[in-house]
Amino acid sequence: MPRSIWKGAISFGLITIPIKVYGATETKDLSFRQVHPEDGGRIKYKRVCEVCGKEIPYTEIAKGYETGDGRLVILDSEDFENLPLASSKAVEVVQFVKTDDIDPTYFERTYFLEADGPGAKPYVLLRRALAEEGKAAVVKVALRSRESLALIRAKDDLLLMHTMLWPDELRDGEFAAPGDDIKVSDAEVQMARMFIDQLSGEFDPSQFTDSYREALEAVVQAKLAGQPVPTESDEAPKEAEVVDLVAALRASVEAAKKRREEAAKAG
């Protein structure tokens, strides 16, 4: 069982729900070390002070904040632990919203919330109320040395908490939008909708795998076994020049239909 990363309480009106917070996700990737290719020796880095030239142990390193005019403020662990934040000990519900009203761009990380001690009954109460109303709770919480907006929602038997970015942390993507002079016809939209319909279905994440990680693992295993490293064709894919969008989409729809039929026969 994983260890909780935070303990506190959800403030739900006059009701307090003691909780423990657990990370809900983990990154699956191959871990690499920096090495000297001639002898396989690991590359190590020293933490050296630029003023005195001494190597500084990690436990003696503090965090410094440099102001715009070059002044340096040094903060220690107690400064972070004793911040005057109500959200450092409690998660206060400040608003209830429809989950669909939140732009997914805001979501950062996901956590499991577990009822702690006498928090089981009010936990179930909040979970059921959110599920029946189809809403989620907007809260503020301090995790990992920073305060975040977060969204608490019901999923099956659990309450999940999604930390969110602050509005000023989202970049303006207007620069990436095509100009207003780009137009598409109704026929092109209709064919695009047909293609979308052919590939529509219930989302099943178990049907997808990390091909990049699998390919890396295959290369590692081949090297361990002294076998030739598997490779793909060196020929780069050719960029197709799309002249007739309707014709291209019609061909895409037919290809999608064929793949579905073949998959149905195989199943």
What is the reported pLDDT for 241? 57
What is the reported pLDDT for 238? 57
What is the reported pLDDT for 14? 81
What is the reported pLDDT for 202? 86
What is the reported pLDDT for 110? 95
Lookup: tokens for 224: 């361990």
- Using 70 as the pLDDT threshold, list the residues of the chain that sit under it: 81-89, 144-145, 232-243, 267
What is the reported pLDDT for 220? 85
Instruction: Show the domains of the chain with their CATH numbers.
Output: 1-169 (2.40.290.10), 178-266 (no CATH)
Q: Which of 41, 44, 39, 3 is nearest to 22 (CA)?
A: 3
* pTM as predicted: 0.72
What is the reported pLDDT for 251? 83
What is the reported pLDDT for 96? 96
